[in-house]
Amino acid sequence: MDGSSSTSTKKVVINSIIYSLSGLMLKCFSFFLLPLYTAYLTTEDYGITSVATSFTNTMSFIVALSLYSAIMRFYVDLKKDAEKLRRFYGSVVLFTLGSGVIWLLLFTVFREPLCKHVFSGIPFLPIVLVCLIELVFTCQVTIFDDLLKSQQKAAMSSAINMISFFIKLGLNIWFIVGLRMGALGTLLSLLIVDVLYTAFFFVYLTVTKQIRFCIDLPLLKEALKYSVPIIPHRLSTRIALLVSKVLIGGADSLSSLGVYTVATQFGDIADTLQGYVDKAYQPWLFEKLSAGEEGFKRSIRETVQMLIAVLGLLFVCIALFAQDYILLLVNKEYVDAWRYIPLIVLVYAIKTPYYFYVSVLLYNKKSSRILFIATLTGSLINVFLSFFLIPKYSVYGSILADAISMVIRVAIVVAISRRIEDVGLKFRDFAVNFLMVMLFIAAGLSLSFLKFGNSFSIVNLLFKIAITAAYVAFIYFRYRKQLAALLKAFKKRRAS
């Protein structure tokens, strides 16, 4: 790596570390509190909150017309024109806020079909109404978070998210443990935190003079030209997830969905960590491609190799040690959740190439409009398979549908990305990484499935630790040259 390349790589690695460590810290706090939540929240409560949050995550992209994506991409083009950037931010914020209020009113008017087809068995007042109000504010939270990430302010983004988490934690304890409000308490605390987050967002951008509240139609039109074609890409995955949860709740019960939801809390760490890495990687890649430095392809590949190796280690740890945590600390009603977690983690491991290849398409404004081909195709297949597999195999049917659709989605994105632009990525790097992750997970859980099942064992725990150490040794041996180059770059930069 040359000097500028090393500095650039150092930046994305540091930001990845900041996002990952803060994210892991928040997840750790969540897991430490999981025994408390499972003691006061029934499996049905978990099922209700799962459907509600999935609905909010899905609808937020329709409400915002996927303008989140434009925030990060247009910053690269507008950052040298401060006034234009301020007007761009203001237009996006006001448009999204107005759209959220309109959707809130529409859903309130047509609440009967909404409750019948999506929130089956869940009362409109107060649970569904709280969920709809929260939809207005969650869009603003995402806009601000993407704004900070586009500016590569990893430390500030992480700090704000941690403060929000602890406020939500305090409210959760008050509502769930103190007032025994169940699922409503969870949703209400989320709404309050998002309202406070939005208020801070508006004040911060106003004080720092980074926003002008207006509707700049030419800028908004240009942003929508970029973001609207991405809606199927962003939305289809969430629709498939929402359909799966509704089907699981219908095929078994909200309680079965609740057990699955606990499993996904562990499994989602895998995707969350990939998301944190992507938040650091994507703006770094955009600037790398914009600068067009000599040797940028090699720099990108070497950086990605190290990132996916670290992700692989995290996948192995989640899949192996989730069982012990559940058996020791979580309410016995949720004990079967550990059996789903390794499979969920592997589905997310399949998704790893998607993040890195899709960033290439998001950089190219024209190609961003065809992203929906991959995501929409994968999600339609997921929904189709879910209708057949979930009634027969319940949760396992949902995971199988996810895996098949994910393979198809990744294959399409990789194929399109390669045709648009070669940035140095090699698919075999991802394939080898996934194969090793799968083999180490299978080896590490062999005693769990063959002998120990739902009983905790020190022998089993030590065996998993040994397998994890073996994986660390493997990735160190495989990427020792890249690691040595990166350490050398750090020392050189520090000395200067």
| pLDDT tens-digit map of 348-395 | 999 999 888 888 877 776 665 666 677 778 888 988 999 899 888 888
- Residue 494: predicted pLDDT: 52
Reduced to 3 states, what is the DSSP secondary structure of residue 61?
helix
Q: What are phi and psi of 65, to 5 degrees?
A: 50, 35
Residue 258, pLDDT score: 85
- Please state the rounded mean pLDDT for residues 76-82: 87
Using 50, 70 and 90 to split pLDDT, how confident is the model at 94?
Answer: very high
119-162 pLDDT, tens digit per residue, is: 888 889 999 999 999 999 999 999 999 898 888 788 898 899 89
Buried b (16+ CB within 10 A) or exposed e, 94-131: bbbbebbeebbeebeeebeebbeebbeebebeebbbbb
Please list the alpha-helical segments (H only) found in 292-426.
Answer: 296-329, 341-363, 372-393, 395-420
CA atoms of 219 and 455, how far apart (whole Å)? 59
Rounded average pLDDT over 236-252: 76
SS3 135: helix
Q: What is the pLDDT of residue 488?
A: 65
Q: State residue 150's pLDDT score.
A: 83
Question: Within 10 A of 474 (CB to CB), how many other CB atoms are there?
Answer: 16
- How far separated are the first and last CA of the chain, in Å rounded? 17
Mean pLDDT of 399-411: 92
**In the prediction, which pLDDT does 6 show?**
52
Give CA–CA dist 342/319, Å, rounded. Answer: 5
Least confident of 261-270, 281-290, 415-424: 281-290
pLDDT on residue 462: 96
d(CA 73, CA 84): 14
- In 3D, which of 265, 261, 266 has the Cα closest to residue 245? 261
Q: Which of the residue ranges 65-79, 265-279, 294-308, 370-384 has the most confident prediction, judged by mean pLDDT?
A: 65-79
DSSP letter at 423?
A: -
Percent of the chain with pLDDT over 70: 88
Residue of 59 and 149 predicted with greater confidence: 59
- Residue ranges per structural domain of the chain: 3-495
CB atoms within 10 A of CB 494: 7
d(CA 240, CA 245): 9
Cβ atoms within 10 Å of 179's Cβ, excluding its own: 12
Nearest one of 238, 247, 293 to 423, comparing CA atoms: 293
Q: CA nearest 242: which of 57, 495, 459?
A: 57
User: 82-109 and 67-78 are packed helices; what angle lies between their axes, rounded to 10 degrees?
Assistant: 170
Average pLDDT rounded to a whole number, residues 449-455: 87
Distance (Å, rounded) from C-alpha 135 to C-alpha 58?
Answer: 10
Range scoring the smallest mean pLDDT among 262-266, 299-303, 313-317, 489-493 = 489-493
Whether the per-residue pLDDT at 299 is higher than 90: the answer is: no
Residue 8: pLDDT over 70: no
CA angle 271, 487, 485 (to 5 degrees): 90
Whether the full predicted model's pTM is greater than 0.75, yes or no, is no
pLDDT of amino acid 233: 65
As a residue count, the chain comes to 496
| Amino acid identity for residue 169 in this structure | L
Q: Quick one: how far is CA 192 from the chain centroid?
A: 22
Q: For 156-182, what is the mean pLDDT? A: 91
Amino acid at 324: D
